[in-house]
């Protein structure tokens, strides 16, 4: 793959978007590579957590590659958003393997949309986040209007989108957009520390929990019913047998891969 790097260690994979001369901007090729990378890692039974970050110190992802769509028609613009959401942003959100965004530097436009599609986010203290699309005469098209409002509330999302302004890492933390803020030097190791805690738990249960939590944000779906169904499903798994047996035997559970 030309635009991303994948490293695997101890049940954790780190996906690095590697276009530093373009501030890791998302073009069609990078979106396709990310889709393929996430798909492969989700199918890898040894990988229990995925961390996604950007190469270099300046940017996680500074946005979409505007040169690719500057002359698009109405139909082409709609197709661009639909295809992108299907290939990457919705795909990541619904992945059964947990995905942590390690946001280093600028996360703008499609970059923030990618971070928001991950299951949660940690940021470096120099991170800047925003959705500046209205300065180009367009709106966020990769789920940004929906996920930002879900994460920070309607009023703050309206202000961020309308002003096209950037917020710093501390503000993002205060808004609930990110879970933690650490120094840039600590960022990846901090994310790996959280990932390591996750790897000790049941991958099957975590995947079912992701599905149940996401269900609350889908129209026409009763999240409580999904929780009930997934709760019951877990009772038929080897992970449940191991987890409950380990508890009763007063030892740590030894869960297999996915």
Q: Check residue 236 and give its pLDDT.
A: 97
Q: How far is CA 28 from CA 15, 88, 113, 169, 244, in A?
A: 17, 11, 15, 28, 46
The order of strands in the sheet holding 167-168 is: 59-61, 106-108, 128-130, 167-168
Beta strands 180-182 and 120-124, pairing class: parallel
Q: Which residues are catalytic?
A: 113, 133
Both structure tokens of 201: 């738990």
What whole-number distance in Å separates Cα of residue 95 and Cα of residue 43?
A: 10
The order of strands in the sheet holding 49-54 is: 4-9, 12-17, 49-54, 99-103, 120-124, 180-182
- Domain chopping of the chain, boundaries: 4-199, 203-248
**pLDDT per residue rounded down to tens, the chain (258 residues):** 899 999 999 999 999 999 999 999 999 999 999 999 999 999 999 999 999 999 998 999 999 888 889 999 999 999 999 999 999 999 999 999 999 999 999 999 999 999 999 999 999 999 999 999 999 999 999 999 999 999 999 999 999 999 999 999 999 999 999 999 999 999 999 999 999 999 999 999 999 999 999 999 999 999 999 999 999 999 999 999 999 999 999 999 999 878
| CATH class held by domain 4-199 | alpha beta
CB atoms within 10 A of CB 21: 8
């Amino acid at each position: 793959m030309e635009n991303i790097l994948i490293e695997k260690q101890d049940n954790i994979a780190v996906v690095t978007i590697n276009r530093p001369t373009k501030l890791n901007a998302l073009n069609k090729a990078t979106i396709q590579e990310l889709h393929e990378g996430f798909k492969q890692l989700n199918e890898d039974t040894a990988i229990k957590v995925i961390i996604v970050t950007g190469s270099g110190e300046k940017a996680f992802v500074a946005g979409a590659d505007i040169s690719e769509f500057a002359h698009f028609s109405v139909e082409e613009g709609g197709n661009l958003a639909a295809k992108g959401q299907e290939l990457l942003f919705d795909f990541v959100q619904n992945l059964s393997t947990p995905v942590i965004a390690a946001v280093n530097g600028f996360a703008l436009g499609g970059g923030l949309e990618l971070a928001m599609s991950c299951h949660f986010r940690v940021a470096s203290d120099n991170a800047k986040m925003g959705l500046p699309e209205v300065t180009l005469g367009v709106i966020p098209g990769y789920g940004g209007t929906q996920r930002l409002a879900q994460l920070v509330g309607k009023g703050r999302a309206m202000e961020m989108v309308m002003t096209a302004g950037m917020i710093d890492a501390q503000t993002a933390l205060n808004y609930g957009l990110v879970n933690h803020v650490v120094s840039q030097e600590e960022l990846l190791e901090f994310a790996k520390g959280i990932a390591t805690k996750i790897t000790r738990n049941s991958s099957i249960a975590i995947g079912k929990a992701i599905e149940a939590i996401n269900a609350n944000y889908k129209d026409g779906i009763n999240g409580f019913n999904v929780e009930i169904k997934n709760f019951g499903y877990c009772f038929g798994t080897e992970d449940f047998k191991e987890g409950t047996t380990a508890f009763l035997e007063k030892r740590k559970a030894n869960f297999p891969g996915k």
